[in-house]
Amino acid sequence: DTAVSQTPKYLVTQMGNDKSIKCEQNLGHDTMYWYKQDSKKFLKIMFSYNNKELIINETVPNRFSPKSPDKAHLNLHINSLELGDSAVYFCASRPGTGYYGYTFGSGTRLTVV
């Protein structure tokens, strides 16, 4: 079983559309994240949830809205997609306490045309 799974793996869509990316972890972790990796490979945090509660909301356009129905799931909905949203989006999770690294999902490559 994949520890952190994301769907879809690839997403090609037109400007102005609305799309969602789903993430599920079966590790029992309390904290989940969304990271954006741009074309230069830079990884930047977007959101952090701890036990379904939003903890971090970096400077991200409000077209991006995360939703956590339970602590095993963290979805990302994007409205009115723009060309600059094209990137790889990674979901990640970690135990809520202690010094632990993240487990990343396999990523969703979003291409806006």
Q: Give the Cα separation of 97 and 40 in Å (integer).
A: 31
| 21 close to 109: Cβ distance less than 8 angstroms | no
| 20 close to 78: Cβ distance less than 8 angstroms | yes
CB closer to another protein out of 3 and 15: 3
List CB contacts of 21: < 8 A, sequence separation 6 or more.
Answer: 6, 7, 8, 11, 75, 76, 78, 89, 91, 108, 110
CB under 8 A: which stretch of 13-21, 60-68, 78-86, 96-104 binds another protein?
Answer: 96-104
- Residue 99 sits in the site that holds another protein (CB under 8 A): yes
- Residue 12 sits in the site that holds another protein (CB under 8 A): no
- Residue 66 sits in the site that holds another protein (CB under 8 A): no
CB under 8 A: which stretch of 18-26, 43-51, 61-69, 71-79 binds another protein?
Answer: 43-51
Q: Is the peptide bond before 8 cis (omega within 30 degrees of 0)?
A: yes
Binding residue for another protein, selected from 55, 61, 63, 79, defined by CB under 8 A:
55
Provide the binding-site residues for another protein, judged by CB under 8 A.
Answer: 31, 33, 40-45, 48, 50, 55-56, 90, 94, 96-107
